[in-house]
Chain A
Amino acid sequence: MPNRVVNILVPVISVILGLLVGAVVMLISGYDPVAGYSALWNGIFGDAYTIGETIRQITPYILSGLAVAFAFRTGLFNIGVEGQLLVGWFAAAYVGIAFDLPMYIHLPLSILAAAVAGGLWAFLPGLLKAKLQVHEVIVTIMMNYIALHTTNVLIRMVANGGETTEAIKETASLKSAFFESMTDFSRLHYGIFIALAMVLVMWFILEKTTTGFELKAVGFNKHASDYAGMNVNKNIILSMVISGAFAGLAGAMEALGTFQYASVKGGFTGIGFDGIAVALLGANTPLGVVFGATLFGALKFGSLNMPNAAGIPVEIVSIVIALIIFFVACGYIIRYFLVKKNNKKEAK
Chain B
Amino acid sequence: MDYVIEMLGIRKEFGSFVANDNITLQLKKGEIHALLGENGAGKSTLMNVLFGLYQPEAGEIKVNGKTVEITDPNVANDLGIGMVHQHFMLVENFTVTENIILGNELTKSGMIDIKDAAKKIHSLSEMYGLAVDPYAKIEDISVGMQQRVEILKTLYRGAEILIFDEPTASLTPQEIIELIQIMKRLIQEGKSIILITHKLKEIMDVSDRVTVIRKGEGIGTVITSETNPNELASLMVGRQVDFTTVKVDANPTDDALVVKNLVVTDFRGVEKVKNLSLTVRKGEILGIAGIDGNGQSELIEAITGLKKSKSGSISINGRDITNKRPRKVTESGIGHIPQDRHKHGLVLDFPIGHNIALQTYYVDPISKNGIMNYGKVSELAQKIIKEYDVRTQGEHTPARALSGGNQQKAIIGREIERNPELLIAALPTRGLDVGAIEFIHSRLIEQRDKGKAVLLLSFELDEVMNVSDRIAVIYDGQIVDTLLPKETTEQELGLLMAGQSTKENVATQGDK
Q: Which residues of A contact B (CB under 8 A)?
A: 208-214, 216-217, 220-221, 223-231, 347
Check B348–A221 contact: CB distance below 8 A: yes
Mark the stretch among B126-134, B313-321, B338-346 that contacts chain A: B338-346
Is B326 an interface residue when CB atoms closer than 8 A count as contact? yes
Q: Give chain A residues whose Cβ lies under 8 Å from the Cβ of B348.
A: 220-221
Q: How many B residues have CB within 8 A of the partner chain?
A: 29
Q: Give chain B residues whose Cβ lies under 8 Å from the Cβ of A223.
A: 343-344
Which of these, B326, B359, B372, contacts A208 with CB under 8 Å? B372
Q: Give chain A residues whose Cβ lies under 8 Å from the Cβ of B361.
A: 210, 213-214
Check B359–A225 contact: CB distance below 8 A: no
A220 CA / B346 CA spacing, docked (Å):
10
Which of these, A214, A228, A347, contacts B359 with CB under 8 Å? A228
Check A226–B358 contact: CB distance below 8 A: no
A223 CA / B331 CA spacing, docked (Å):
19
Which of these, A209, A211, A217, A347, contacts B358 with CB under 8 Å? A217
A347 CA / B56 CA spacing, docked (Å):
11
Check B370–A228 contact: CB distance below 8 A: no
Is B180 an interface residue when CB atoms closer than 8 A count as contact? no
Check B344–A210 contact: CB distance below 8 A: no
Which of these, A209, A213, A230, contacts B354 with CB under 8 Å? A213
Is B501 an interface residue when CB atoms closer than 8 A count as contact? no
Name the prevailing secondary structure of the A interface residues: helix
Check A213–B345 contact: CB distance below 8 A: no
Q: Give chain B residues whose Cβ lies under 8 Å from the Cβ of A213.
A: 354, 361, 367, 372
Check A210–B371 contact: CB distance below 8 A: yes
A229 CA / B361 CA spacing, docked (Å):
11
- CB within 8 Å of A: which B337-366 residues: 338, 343-350, 354, 358-359, 361-362
Check B358–A228 contact: CB distance below 8 A: yes
> How distant is B334 from chain A, measured CB to nearest CB, in Å?
11
A227 CA / B340 CA spacing, docked (Å):
11
Check B347–A221 contact: CB distance below 8 A: yes
Provided the pairs A208-B372, A226-B326, A227-B336 are in contact, do residues A220 and B349 lie with their beta carbons within 8 angstroms?
yes
> How distant is A200 from chain B, measured CB to nearest CB, in Å?
15
- CB within 8 Å of A: which B23-60 residues: 55
Check B345–A227 contact: CB distance below 8 A: yes
Which chain A residue has the least Cβ–Cβ distance from B349? A220
Q: Give chain B residues whose Cβ lies under 8 Å from the Cβ of A229.
A: 325-331, 359
Which of these, A210, A211, A217, A347, contacts B347 with CB under 8 Å? A217
Which chain B residue has the least Cβ–Cβ distance from A217? B347
Q: Give chain A residues whose Cβ lies under 8 Å from the Cβ of B331.
A: 229
Which chain A residue has the least Cβ–Cβ distance from B329? A229
Q: Give chain A residues whose Cβ lies under 8 Å from the Cβ of B372.
A: 208-210, 212-213
Which of these, B306, B350, B367, B370, contacts A227 with CB under 8 Å? B306
Q: Give chain A residues whose Cβ lies under 8 Å from the Cβ of B296.
A: none
Which chain B residue has the least Cβ–Cβ distance from A211? B370
Which of these, A209, A210, A212, A224, contacts B346 with CB under 8 Å? A224
A230 CA / B370 CA spacing, docked (Å):
14
A212 CA / B372 CA spacing, docked (Å):
9
Is B322 an interface residue when CB atoms closer than 8 A count as contact? no
Q: Give chain B residues whose Cβ lies under 8 Å from the Cβ of A209.
A: 370-372
Check A224–B345 contact: CB distance below 8 A: yes
> How distant is B417 from chain A, measured CB to nearest CB, in Å?
14
Check A216–B326 contact: CB distance below 8 A: no
Check A210–B367 contact: CB distance below 8 A: yes
A230 CA / B336 CA spacing, docked (Å):
15
The residue in A208, A226, A229, A231 that gathers the most chain B C-beta atoms within 10 A of its C-beta is A229
